[in-house]
Amino acid sequence: MAKKEAAAILSIEGREVQITNPDKPYFSRDVKLSKLDVVKYYLSVADGAVRGIRDRPNMLKRFVNGAEREPFYQKRAPENRPDWLRIVTLSFPSGRTADEIVVDDAPGLAWIVNLGCIELHPHAVCTNDLDHPDELRIDLDPIPGVEWDQVRRVAMEAKNLMEEVGLRGWPKTSGSRGMHVNARIQQRWTFTEVRRAALAFSREIERRVPKLATSKWWKEERHGVFLDYNQNAKDRTTCSAYSIRPLPDARVSAPLHWEEVPDCQPEEFTVLTMPARLKKIGDPNAEMDDAAGSLEKLLELADRDEAAGLGDAPWPPHFRKMEGEAPRVAPSRAKGAGGGRREGGGGKRKAGGEKRSAAKAPRSNMPLVTVANSPSKDAALAGLERWKTKHLAAAKHLAVDDVLVDSMRGRSTTWTRIRVNLRNVPEKIRPKQETPDPDDDPTREWREAPRKPR
């Protein structure tokens, strides 16, 4: 039996925090980082990192076996926790509740990192009002093949629009391929209203730079940079400032000054560079809490969109069907070439229950096949390569954005689904849907289980 590794005890701001398995490898590819190295990184940037999560419930995304293994999600605070660590009861769209961790200081930060939380995932609310967000989150998510310069250009367009509607945007790299532009808002609006404002924002950006950006929810309809308005729905979280991402170079979600955006490169901001940057220039988000703005102008824009026939857009799949939402079915699964409505086809309900008619547009079926399902992204990508080898003639016609790699959420884990869009493949040589390889969808068992009568 292997000898159990001694824990490290850190004294942080007068509190002792135990770091278990401190020498456990957390990154082993481009950089070599142990679990203790990751904790020490967070303590070196605690001024900025705590600012991004302070007084907020945090969903725990735990990489207990390091950044190169699959994580799992934990909403509920562990029972074995220090008595000085706060919790708050959060409710979810399902009707369930959970006591979630609230981090207020560096000791609390080190404690959750010891759980394997190399990413920090705070909700967009503070503990004084869990029903009214204080942050509008604009998530710029490029589809495969989109160049980084295009992301930066869309970010600058987002800056301009925010200024026009009376908000101050605070940019940061996502730490992966995208960017986030967040804005503090007054705690006056519900999650539904904040999401509605984010949808109006996304559609306006799409109108201004239609070749660069999209607000379309379904992956097979997207192009360029997707503005993910659903990050503002209740129970959604995004990684906060100074979070480490599970990439080989231990890249970090880096807050920026706007003048840095046109020339910034995401690979410049890593665990190895961020502590010195924070010490040299300070935290670009330092004044963010003093800049709460209003959503009134964005909600007026939403009203104009709805009056023009643009109803609600799809919600995340685990949400109940919302009033005014168009049929929640992907184009690839729509009945007939014109069988579905466009994304905003639900219309707006008038007083008395009558529904305004919304403009309809034909929606073509997308010829998609699923080639891999696996809890391991690497295993799913290996399955994609086997599919390409098996179907060489078809694979030669694929564009970069014809391969859709979806990170799917289960009850507590993520898994990877890979689909291939055959739109560019001549019909005569399009492969039929086959059993995916691998075909390990961890949610299938509970999704297909017979439901118990209520």
User: H/E/C letters for each residue in the chain?
Assistant: CCCCCCCEEEEECCEEEEECCCCCEEEECCCEEEHHHHHHHHHHCHHHHHHHHECCEEEEEECCCCCCCCCEEECCCCCCCCCCCEEEEEECCCCCEEEEEEECCHHHHHHHHHCCCCCCEECCCECCECCCCCEEEEEEEECCCCCHHHHHHHHHHHHHHHHHCCCCCEEEECCCCCEEEEEEECCCCCHHHHHHHHHHHHHHHHHHCCCCEECCCCHHHCCCEEECHHHHCCCCCCCCCCCECCCCCCEECCECCHHHHHHCCHHHCECCCHHHHHHHHCCCCCCHHHCCECCHHHHHHHHHHHHCCCCECCCCCCCCCCCCECCCCCHHHCCCCCCCCCCCCCCCECCCCCECCCCCCCCCCCCEEEEEEECCHHHHHHHHHHHHHHCHHHHCCCCHHHEEEEEEECCCEEEEEEEEECCCCCHHHCCCCCCCCCECCCCHHHHHCCCCCC
- Whether 110 maps to a domain, the answer reads yes
Work out the average pLDDT over 121-137: 98
Round to whole Å and give the CA distance between 421 and 434.
14
Work out the average pLDDT over 353-373: 61
C-alpha neighbours within 13 Å on the C-beta side of residue 325: 17
What band does 320 get if pLDDT is binned at 50, 70 and 90?
confident
Round to whole Å and give the CA distance between 341 and 339.
7
pTM: 0.81
- Whether 34 maps to a domain, the answer reads yes
- Label residues 128-161 b or e (16+ Cβ within 10 Å = b): eebebbbbbbbbbbbbeebebebbbbbbebbbeb
pLDDT for res 446? 55
The answer to whether residues 273 and 335 belong to one domain is no
The answer to whether residues 345 and 389 belong to one domain is no
Is 333 or 61 the better-scoring residue by pLDDT?
Answer: 61
- Whether 91 maps to a domain, the answer reads yes
From residue 201, give the alpha-carbon distance in Å to each of 18, 125, 362: 44, 20, 25
The answer to whether residues 413 and 331 belong to one domain is no
What band does 324 get if pLDDT is binned at 50, 70 and 90?
confident
- Whether 32 maps to a domain, the answer reads yes
Domain count, the chain: 3
- pLDDT one-digit tens code per residue, 424-439: 999 999 999 999 999 9
Work out the average pLDDT over 313-336: 75
Work out the average pLDDT over 248-252: 97
Work out the average pLDDT over 338-346: 44
pLDDT for res 348? 44
> Taking a C-beta distance cutoff of 8 angstroms, is the pair 293, 188 a contact?
no
pLDDT for res 367? 87
Q: To 10 degrees, what angle do helices 46-53 and 35-44 make?
A: 80
Which one of 332, 366, 400 terminates a domain?
A: 366
- Whether 135 maps to a domain, the answer reads no
- pLDDT one-digit tens code per residue, 380-398: 999 999 999 999 999 999 8
Region label for 324, one of left (φ > 0), alpha (ψ between -120 and 50) or beta (otherwise): left
The answer to whether residues 389 and 333 belong to one domain is no
- Whether 48 maps to a domain, the answer reads yes
- pLDDT one-digit tens code per residue, 273-309: 999 999 999 999 999 999 999 999 999 999 999 999 9
The answer to whether residues 386 and 434 belong to one domain is yes
- Look at residue 336 and tell me whether its pLDDT is greater than 70: no
Question: For 206-220, 257-271, 360-374, 416-430, which range has the lowest pLDDT when averaged over its residues?
Answer: 360-374
- pLDDT one-digit tens code per residue, 208-244: 999 999 999 988 889 999 999 999 999 999 999 999 9
- pLDDT one-digit tens code per residue, 303-312: 999 999 999 9
Domain that holds residue 15: 8-128+239-248+265-285
Region label for 326, one of left (φ > 0), alpha (ψ between -120 and 50) or beta (otherwise): beta
The answer to whether residues 109 and 93 belong to one domain is yes
What band does 366 get if pLDDT is binned at 50, 70 and 90?
confident
- Whether 74 maps to a domain, the answer reads yes
Which one of 366, 394, 424 terminates a domain?
A: 366
- Look at residue 342 and tell me whether its pLDDT is greater than 50: no
The answer to whether residues 69 and 104 belong to one domain is yes
Phi and psi torsions of 355, nearest 5°: -105, 130
The answer to whether residues 412 and 339 belong to one domain is no
Per cent of the chain over pLDDT 90 is 73
Round to whole Å and give the CA distance between 215 and 224.
10
What band does 16 get if pLDDT is binned at 50, 70 and 90?
very high
The answer to whether residues 59 and 91 belong to one domain is yes
The answer to whether residues 244 and 110 belong to one domain is yes
- Whether 218 maps to a domain, the answer reads no
pLDDT for res 356? 39
- Look at residue 352 and tell me whether its pLDDT is greater than 80: no
pLDDT for res 341? 41
The answer to whether residues 30 and 45 belong to one domain is yes
- pLDDT one-digit tens code per residue, 67-125: 999 899 999 999 999 999 999 999 988 788 999 999 999 999 999 999 999 999 999 99
pLDDT for res 3? 54
234-270-184 Cα angle (round to 5) = 35
- Please provide the average confidence, as pLDDT, over all residues in the chain: 89
Work out the average pLDDT over 319-340: 66
> Taking a C-beta distance cutoff of 8 angstroms, is the pair 329, 341 a contact?
no
Question: For 78-82, 141-145, 253-257, 324-328, which range has the lowest pLDDT when averaged over its residues?
Answer: 324-328
pLDDT for res 347? 45
The answer to whether residues 350 and 361 belong to one domain is yes
pLDDT for res 411? 58
